[in-house]
């Protein structure tokens, strides 16, 4: 896959993708690339006005639908409106925001990045024919999942550790979903991807002085959103992608470059923790998977 880029995406005519958080950054780039390859893309976004503006620039192969991953009622409404899907790309996320809670009382980062996508995937899984791609981050090395305090109700809140925990959760979910799909004899696969250090709006929403620092980092160090989106596009479309795999950039420390298969830390591979997080996620969201 050396040097794989958007021009290498196979034709996607007749295929339907759902991309969460598609109105900016990696999601917008992925949407444009999939539509250019012939796919139909449902842009699942909280900001419908901004998403509509993006959709108008991309063309008539995209549809805008409202989805707020921080509100399980919105997740259920969106899922109920969907028909058959080939690929779900769990792309949306928030990073290092101050402590706040979702509409359902979850800490915002675990609630949006993990629980919202957990619920969405479970509600759609019986309509997905090919793949589930979930975005994680190298920041999964910065945090740890605490099942006894998943929503930071007892610990002193640390925004970066909370972000890292949500990214570990994304990987635990990806790998556990693949084990369940395999056990059920399903041909659907679950894979993960991360963008390295890519210049997107994610870094400008921490509501802290770090927004300015990361803005400068985006200008001087980060690769483009177009490059950052390649691992998720590879995971979503390339021939030969296998379930339970993880893709990121091929450069130094996986910060930039073209997509390749990469590894993840020991906690993300802990099957006992993954099963326990799955059970806790079902309990919190009320979503039970049919696999």
Give per-residue pLDDT as tens, 88-112. 999 999 999 999 999 999 999 999 9
Catalytic residue among 13, 157, 163, 197: 163
Instruction: Answer whether residue 2 is part of any domain.
Output: no
- Whether 79 and 90 have beta carbons less than 8 Å apart is answered as no
Domain that holds residue 279: 9-285
pLDDT tens digits, one per residue of 137-174: 999 999 999 999 999 999 999 999 999 999 999 999 99
- Checking if the pLDDT of 229 tops 70, the result is yes
Supply the CATH number for residue 33's domain.
3.40.50.720
290 within domain boundaries: no
| Residue 1 within any structural domain of the chain | no
Q: Is residue 3 part of a domain?
A: no
CA 155 to chain centre: 26
Q: What is the mean pLDDT of residues 172-193?
A: 98
Label the pairing between strands 40-45 and 16-20.
Answer: parallel
What is the total count of domains within the chain?
1
247 is an active site residue: no
Could you tell me if residue 123 is inside a domain? yes
- Under DSSP, is residue 59 helix (H, G, I), strand (E, B) or coil? coil
* Mean pLDDT on 195-199: 90
Could you tell me the pTM of the whole model?
0.93
Integer angstrom CA distances of residue 219 from 25, 34, 198, 200, 222: 15, 26, 10, 10, 7
**Is 291 part of a structural domain of the chain?**
no
Q: Are 114 and 169 in contact (CB under 8 A)?
A: yes
Cα(237)–Cα(241) distance, rounded to whole angstroms?
A: 8
Is residue 256 one of the residues assigned to a domain?
Answer: yes
Domain assignment present for 281: yes
| Cβ atoms 116, 70 nearer than 8 A | yes
């Amino acid at each position: 896959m050396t040097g794989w880029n958007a021009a290498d995406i196979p034709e996607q005519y007749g295929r339907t993708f759902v991309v969460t958080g598609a109105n900016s950054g990696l999601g917008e780039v992925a949407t444009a690339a999939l539509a250019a390859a012939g796919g139909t893309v449902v842009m699942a976004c909280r900001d419908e006005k901004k998403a509509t503006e993006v959709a108008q620039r991309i063309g008539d192969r995209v549809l805008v639908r409202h989805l707020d991953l921080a509100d399980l009622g919105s997740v259920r409404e969106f899922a109920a409106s969907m028909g058959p899907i080939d690929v779900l790309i769990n792309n949306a996320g928030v990073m290092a925001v101050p402590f706040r809670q979702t509409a359902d009382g979850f800490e915002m980062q675990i609630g949006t990045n993990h629980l919202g996508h957990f619920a969405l995937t479970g509600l759609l899984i019986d309509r997905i024919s090919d793949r589930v791609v979930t975005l994680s981050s190298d920041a999964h090395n910065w945090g740890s999942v605490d099942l006894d305090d998943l929503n930071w109700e007892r610990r002193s809140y640390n925004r970066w550790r909370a972000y890292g925990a949500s990214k570990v959760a994304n990987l635990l979910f990806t790998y556990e979903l693949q084990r369940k799909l395999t056990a059920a004899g399903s041909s659907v696969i679950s894979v993960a991807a991360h963008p390295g250090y890519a210049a997107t709006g994610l870094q400008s929403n921490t509501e802290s002085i770090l927004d300015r620092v990361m803005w400068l980092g985006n200008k001087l160090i980060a690769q483009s959103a177009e490059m950052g989106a390649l691992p998720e596009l590879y995971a979503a479309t390339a021939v030969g992608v296998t379930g339970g795999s993880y893709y990121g950039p091929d450069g130094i420390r996986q910060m930039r470059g073209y997509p390749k298969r990469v590894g993840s830390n020991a906690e993300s591979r802990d099957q006992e923790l993954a099963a326990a997080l799955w059970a806790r996620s079902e309990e919190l969201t009320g979503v039970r998977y049919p696999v």
